[in-house]
Structure 1
């Protein structure tokens, strides 16, 4: 364009300088008009050139600041994530839409995002998690003034004087019965040596005391877990720790049930639980992992607190639409004919999820999240389906642009089974593009542990 303007100027100048050459020159008015057009053309090109330079500088700066992101984008993957210290990472793919999960070693708890998704912007959702040492002493497991020492995946108790046991739960009796013998002769005899008195015999909850005479004074003691019975210094009776410490300030001896034994006690757990290593708490038995269940091959075993459930996922039957099972917990709709509007309005998919929770779980609390990998259309809606019972215990709220959360709004006393359905709808200018139903079933244990 600049070359064309230069040619026009040269021809005009040549015509003005050599009018005798015989060529037909334009009039002065035409020449002035042409020069104005050339001037405008040059000004427009100059402005366009300067704007192009500014845009080029911006693009260069953007490329320099996003070198790492552009490299990742060229591979269509997110940057590599490291496993947290004292933990591990599950998932090797860093492509868009893929998810990476994080777990901590025993004795450590996860702080941060349990899972992260590689987003369309080639950045990871959530925050990089860390593994924090679990403070086993946080629940104050040591009783009766005992000092707790936190260790890796366990704890130990340094008991105060007069107490013993894993959690300082058993008193160590220091009862003495003193009897003075007024006989001077006896005192003289016993001054030289101590004599052990004969012990009484009794059952497991009654034991003989251990008595000695030193310089005319009788001292009687009992084994740990026993105490002197009334005025009879020769008999020791069992201490009922379950009754003595049933509602103490330091808490119950046992999480579930306490059973008194000769000289001590033991904790018991309901069916479906085992007593933990500390002897006080209860740990759920995973009947599904240990194959202690009677679920058939066409059923899926769901472990619950204190038991298990056998479930079978069958695809729903909806008029004008057919569904096929694509996984053990998902059904998808077959493609619809172009002229079948009723089919296109049916849900695109049904997903089934099962949760096991304890009784009287504190609320409000997030129970489940439903997310879209990428948004289709201009609107994404989340809503709660179901009757009055579902709305009494649940609600649905938005956590970000692509995620909805199923919230438990009130505690539930077990045993109970609750169901909730979360609908995710995609719309474009208020026209429905797709519907996705997530059915969540919550099994509530009879116990709060």
Structure 2
């Protein structure tokens, strides 16, 4: 409701009361807060700002009145008198009315005194007179030069902000707000828990009016003090061998032949020899990061790096045999065979055969020929195994042949298996552990009932059993 007094429009006490409420109450910034009449909440500034009613309200001032915006309200002044300078010899301008209900009806207008000065006699002036003590609107004070200066309510401590609030001076008034890190709830500035709203990427610690961010192990805080960046631990070379960086951590790996220790960074040698006794054919020797196979004397390591191959000393000449002797190689060694010497009544018929003639009476109960042969055998060879074959070279009509072991088979490691009428095979029936030398006399008996003949021939087989099973 507006009152018209001699060309001026005044706001009703209700409108003036609303303006005063703005001065006494502080706008509550923050999410979900409301502002008093004449103010609107600015989310970016997080505080209440003045509303320009002269722009937002249609026909804020009616008739020939001019609208002037104020902090928390507005004024309506006659256009003909707006900004007209005051002069003592001219009718005084009405003091602009600030819509503040606490001020009540302004007393800036005084009735004219009958018979007053100015040559006007008792004529009552048609305009109100202004007291010289009320030249400025509420929130301003009259300066010596006649201008109105803003009153800093914050500096003069004439504000009504809560002790937890901060006073901010404005033109013609002041605003009650909260410092950064607080928001206004129920008239009190309360701490904002920034951690609740995810201000930090990883770890957050709230503090009164503030907060601090930190990072998990393996991360460092970025210059923005909010986000975290992965630390490349491999740059500090924490691993004894290889390092692989991961998000927030790292992993160590080891070279071939090593394994990761319990600390996760140190590499220790892997004992490959402990994995299996079959890794090397003879003996395994562990080395840093690897292993090597060693063979016994008389052998060399084969191309596969694990097997042992016999070193043929007879072929390489790496032996001690004389020119008169014959070098015989066997697995893991060799032997020097002396020239054949036939014991009487045997006579030598070749370099490996002795014969006892049937015409010689001393040969009547003896084998007709003795043939000397040599062979080698691996220690512990699996059984049964065919190791030697014996066959008649001369065949007589009506004759048959008997094959048998005449001597040397004391341990019964061998037996003869006849494979045909004229041949037989020596079979190893029990494993023999070396090194050992076995001499067998293998006899072939020839029987001819037609002519009533019985005779025999012997193969004297010398077997060199090696020390190792290869």
TM-score, normalised to structure 1's length?
0.51
Q: How does 1:129-278 map to 2 (within 5 A)?
A: 180-181=217-218, 183-185=220-222, 190-191=229-230, 194=232, 196-199=234-237, 208-211=240-243, 213-231=245-263, 233-243=264-274, 245-246=275-276, 252-278=278-304
Is the CA contact (8 Å cut-off) linking 1:209 and 1:228 kept in structure 2?
A: no
1:443 aligns with 2:464: yes
- Out of 317, 323, 347, the position equivalent to 1:323 is 347
SS of the residue 2:424 aligns to: strand
Q: Could you tell me how far 1:425 is from its partner in structure 2?
A: 2.4
Q: How does 1:56-75 map to 2 (within 5 A)?
A: none
1:409 aligned residue: 429
Q: Deviation string for 1:47-77 (max 9, x for gaps)?
A: xxxxxxxxxxxxxxxxxxxxxxxxxxxxxxx
2:328 aligned residue: 302
Residues in 2 aligned to 1:354 and 1:273: alpha-carbon distance in whole angstroms: 20
Residues in 2 aligned to 1:189 and 1:352: alpha-carbon distance in whole angstroms: 90
Is the CA contact (8 Å cut-off) linking 1:326 and 1:332 kept in structure 2?
A: no
Is the CA contact (8 Å cut-off) linking 1:199 and 1:234 kept in structure 2?
A: no
Residues in 1 aligned to 2:282 and 2:232: alpha-carbon distance in whole angstroms: 47
Is the CA contact (8 Å cut-off) linking 1:197 and 1:211 kept in structure 2?
A: no
The structure where helix makes up a greater share of residues is 1
Q: Could you tell me how far 1:423 is from its partner in structure 2?
A: 1.4
Residues in 2 aligned to 1:278 and 1:188: alpha-carbon distance in whole angstroms: 57
CA RMSD of aligned residues (A): 2.8
Distance 1:182 1:392, change over 3 A: same
Which ranges of structure 2 fall in alignment gaps of 5 or more residues?
Answer: 1-215
Is the CA contact (8 Å cut-off) linking 2:408 and 2:439 kept in structure 1?
A: no
Distance 1:444 1:210, change over 3 A: same
Q: Could you tell me how far 1:388 is from its partner in structure 2?
A: 5.5
1:20 aligned residue: none
Report how many residues are paired.
Answer: 251
SS of the residue 1:392 aligns to: coil
Q: Deviation string for 1:81-101 (max 9, x for gaps)?
A: xxxxxxxxxxxxxxxxxxxxx
2:385 aligned residue: 365
Greater gyration radius:
2
Which ranges of structure 1 fall in alignment gaps of 5 or more residues?
Answer: 1-178, 201-206
Q: Could you tell me how far 1:433 is from its partner in structure 2?
A: 5.0
TM-score, normalised to structure 2's length?
0.48
Distance 1:331 1:222, change over 3 A: same
Distance 1:253 1:383, change over 3 A: closer
Is the CA contact (8 Å cut-off) linking 2:300 and 2:310 kept in structure 1?
A: yes
Q: Could you tell me how far 1:237 is from its partner in structure 2?
A: 1.2
Q: Could you tell me how far 1:190 is from its partner in structure 2?
A: 4.8
Distance 1:223 1:397, change over 3 A: closer
